Each structure stands twice: as C-alpha cells, then as structure tokens.
Amino acid sequence: MSETIFTYDKQQGLGYDSSRECPLGTVTGADVPDIHRLGNPESSGQDLITIHVYAPPLGVLKTYKLGSSQVDLYTPNDFPT
C-alpha cells in the first residue's frame, strides 16, 4: 500500500506533501487535520483492504480534489448501508 499525504491551502487548494510505502501489516496513525490517500499500484495485481478506526467517532468526513479549493462534506448518514 502507498500512502500519500496532502496539505490544504484555502487559496491554492490541495497540494502534495509526501508519500511512503507501507508493507503488509503496517499500522499508521494520523494527526488532525489529516488529508491522505491510500492505494495500491495497479501493477501489483493485488486487492487492498484497509481498516479505519476513529476515536472519538468521526462526525464529518471531508473530501478534497487535487487542484481544487473545493471541500465536500459527508456525514455517516450519507454512506449506503
């Protein structure tokens, strides 16, 4: 799995900060705020499963788009059950 960390500026929008490779079994933590993307290179040919645990529970999830200053908000009720 690779993890890409981003920064956010109200004027410039989302920007790249850093990235790292996480081998099988890696446990990571996050600061607040934390803007990141997790993924597997398509060339790996493997599926990726991640488990996210939020304490305290996450009330609102913010989503971002590269090159945009737009921030969308989702609440847990927005996700299909």
* pLDDT tens digits, one per residue of 37-55: 888 877 777 888 888 887 7
Amino acid at 14: L
Number of domains in the chain: 1
Is the pTM for the entire model greater than 0.75? Answer: no
Q: Pick the more confident residue, 14 or 41.
A: 14
The parent domain of residue 72 ranges over 2-78
What whole-number distance in Å separates Cα of residue 23 and Cα of residue 14? Answer: 26
- Residue 50 CA neighbour count, 13 Å, CB half: 15
Q: State the chain's maximal CA–CA distance in angstroms.
A: 38
- Residue 18: band (very low, low, confident or very high) from pLDDT cuts 50, 70, 90: very high
